[in-house]
A = this chain, B = another copy of it.
Amino acid sequence: MSGNSFGTIFRITTFGESHGAALGVVIDGVPAGIKIDRDFIKQEMARRRPGQSALTTARQEEDEVEILSGVLEDVSTGTPLAMMIRNTSQRSKDYSDLENIFRPGHADFGFYSKYGIRDVRGGGRSSGRETCARVAAGAVAKMMLAAYGIKICAYAAEIAGVKAETFDQSEIEKNPARSPDPVAAAAMIAAVADARAAQDSVGGVVKCFIDNVPAGWGEPVFDKLDARLAQAMISLGGVKGIEFGDGFAAAKARGSQNNDFMLPGGEFASNHAGGIAGGLSTGARIEFSLAVKPTPSISQEQMTVDKAGEPRRITITGRHDPCIVPRIIPVVEAMAAIVLADFALMQRCARIGNN
């Protein structure tokens, strides 16, 4: 276990580098009997794909998912479900200029320090391209969770300081910002264009909510539902913070304000907790927010050093997202689904009466 696996029973193991032969994922622990809808996987992949709009990179990636095992006549069989995405669009670019130099804001120096060797082509394993394996796995998790009626939705709550002020879920996938507020979306898009024109990049805030998770999911004390969601989300490149429910605002509230009173019928009078108390789902809507940093790859000249520790100046060329918020949204949903699929199975083991 060197970090490329995630989950206890519904367990994903991903592989692949930005410019290697292929990326992929093996999901062990997929229950038998799930209807596998290949079109749905394709749709989810398309949501993550670059080149969708001016907000994202113009790179074209096909991201075609091939199912290698675990599915028979479109039904999961209980054996490992492996999926592979070929890398097809990597150009035969010359990366030799990056070989000895560390890009600011990237994992370059960390990887070199750790392994003594580094795949400089497109960031190698530390590229955001790694997340396509997560989205493929998340699509399977979503299909499993559909049997529980669970629905997951993530969206851009803020980009470049522009906040969504209204919420209309049906708007989210209609604009390139993935904002539930079409007016704010326009402002967000303009702000990204400004940054790009200035050879710069911007960040934002992604919000995610999950409905219909029964009460009691999560495993005390280290694998609490929020703890595992936090690991899952912070493991995404560029996510620098997470808060559940009121989050940092709760730090300023009093207990009498922050406690969510329970009402007859299993409802709550409020949901400051974001649907999780003591690490277990309460049955209320699960809600969390993520801080997404501005893309570190910018085309203006930056200072850095090379392997020898000598000062260098670097200008990052190529096609990069001026803002990764829109493209990280399907990945956030995918990771949420993967966390929940695992807890759905763990939940079956909580009581002796279940056998």
Q: Quick check: A253 and B113 within 8 Å, CB to CB? A: no
Q: Is A148 an interface residue (CB 8 A)?
A: yes
Whether, in the assembled complex, A197 has its beta carbon less than 8 Å from a beta carbon of chain B, the answer is no
- Residues of B within 8 Å of A161, CB to CB, are 252
A82 vs B5: C-alpha distance in the bound complex, in angstroms?
13
Pair B349/A115 contact, Cβ less than 8 Å: no
Complex contacts, A302 vs chain B, CB 8 Å: 256, 259, 261
Which of A106, A160, A235 is the most central at the interface, judged by chain B CB atoms within 10 Å of its CB?
Answer: A235
**Given the complex, which residues of B lie within 8 Å of A259, measured CB to CB?**
104-105, 296, 298, 302
Known: A82-B15, A84-B84. A251 touches B32 (CB 8 A): no
- Min C-beta distance of A119 to chain B, whole Å: 5
**A 223-239 binary contact with B (CB < 8 Å = 1; else 0):** 11011111111110100
Complex: A301 Cα to B25 Cα, angstroms: 42
Q: Give the residues in chain B near A5, CB-CB below 8 Å.
A: 5, 11, 13, 28, 222
Interface bin, chain A: 35 or more
Q: Min CB distance, A99 to chain B, in Å?
A: 11
Give every chain B residue within 8 A of A126 (Cβ-Cβ).
220, 278-279
| A134: min CB distance to chain B, Å | 9
Q: Provide the residues of chain B in CB contact with A349, threshold 8 Å.
A: 2, 9, 29, 31, 345, 348-349
Contact residues in B for A348 (Cβ distance below 8 Å): 345, 348-349, 354-355
Contact A117 B282 (CB under 8 A): no
Q: Closest Cβ of chain B: how far from A212's Cβ, in Å?
A: 13
Contact code string A79-92 (vs B, CB < 8 Å = 1, else 0): 11110100000000
* Distance (whole angstroms) from the CB of A198 to the closest CB of chain B: 8
Residue of B nearest to A343 (CB): B3
* A200, CB-defined interface residue at 8 Å: yes
Contact between chains at B240 and A243 (CB < 8 Å): yes
Given contacts A20-B69, A224-B235, A231-B230, contact A80 B261 (CB under 8 A): no
Contact A258 B203, beta carbon cutoff 8 Å: yes
- A 211-269 contacts with B by CB, 8 A: 214-224, 226-235, 237, 240-266, 269
Closest chain B residue to A301, Cβ basis: B256
**Chain B CB within 8 A of A182 CB:** no
A234 contact set on B, CB distance < 8 A:
224, 226-227, 229-230, 242, 244
Q: Which residues of A152-195 are within 8 A (CB) of B?
A: 158, 160-161, 195
Known pairs A4-B222, A6-B222, A251-B293 / 14 extra A-B pairs, C-beta < 8 Å: A3-B28, A22-B69, A24-B82, A32-B114, A32-B116, A33-B117, A33-B351, A34-B352, A106-B278, A111-B216, A115-B350, A200-B255, A202-B254, A242-B243
24 interchain pairs (CB within 8 A)? A1-B9, A2-B29, A2-B219, A4-B221, A5-B5, A5-B28, A14-B221, A15-B80, A31-B349, A72-B117, A105-B260, A106-B277, A107-B279, A113-B215, A113-B283, A114-B215, A115-B351, A126-B220, A201-B256, A222-B231, A241-B251, A249-B291, A250-B291, A255-B294
